[in-house]
Amino acid sequence: MRIPFTFLVIFTALMFSSCAGVRKAHAAKILSRCSFQMEAWQFDSVSIDSSLFPRSKDAQTSLFPNPQVLKVAQELIQGKGNSKLGVAYLTVQFAVQNPGKDSIWIQDMKGSIRVDTLFEAQWNSTPRRLVAPGVVQIPLSVKVNIDTRLFKVLAADSATIQGGLQAALTPDGELVPFQFQRRQHLPKEEIANLVESAKKDVLQTVLGSWAKSFQ
């Protein structure tokens, strides 16, 4: 008995579609069992708005930094004023715990971190990473505006991280979208060290930017 070619094509397509559906369902099951948590905060660097340091005759003849710029920096560190000096770059260590026996590949991670009502910062991660059974540390790159809210973070009790990712059973497998959200308490000592590092680096960068205006 001859089987029509059209039937074979349709049957093959349905079979592959069914297999893809099973793989996606399995990937979704693995993800649903994973837990997500922020574990460490690290201050990396700052970028000061260059427009605050124009190359002018006044700047070139002065032996001291622009007093107005220093005043703005000091007010921000003291939690006063509404000016913006630039951008701070942080790294947040993000832990993904996979309690199962199967590994999964994740990619396109992005989302936001909200610290109480003070500020909300966007984050992103590396393009692709294998999450094997156990705990995997993933560094998240976070960018925050340098204004009064950054230095008031010590008064915050908690932070909420939310985001999304794509996952698959193999590096090039069918992708499954996944959303997550977690609220947790902030480690006071760690955040205090982060703020102190930010204060120190902001003032040093302000002085360095002023010095460059002479070049």
H-helix or E-strand spanning residue 205: helix 188-212
% pLDDT > 90, the chain: 10
The pLDDT of residue 60 is: 46
User: How high is the mean pLDDT of the chain?
Assistant: 75
Name the band, by pLDDT with cuts 50, 70 and 90, for residue 135.
Answer: very high
CA distance 173 to 214: 55
pLDDT above 50 (res 5): no
% pLDDT > 70, the chain: 68
pLDDT tens string 8-65: 444 344 344 456 677 788 888 888 899 888 888 888 888 877 776 655 444 444 445 5
The pLDDT of residue 103 is: 92
CA distance 187 to 206: 28
Nearest to 119 by CA among 87, 88, 85, 145: 145
pLDDT tens string 155-171: 778 888 899 999 998 88
The pLDDT of residue 49 is: 76
The pLDDT of residue 133 is: 94
CA distance 138 to 161: 14
pLDDT tens string 89-119: 888 888 999 999 999 999 888 999 888 777 7
Task: Count the alpha carbons within 13 Å of 147 in the hemisphere toward its beta carbon.
Answer: 11
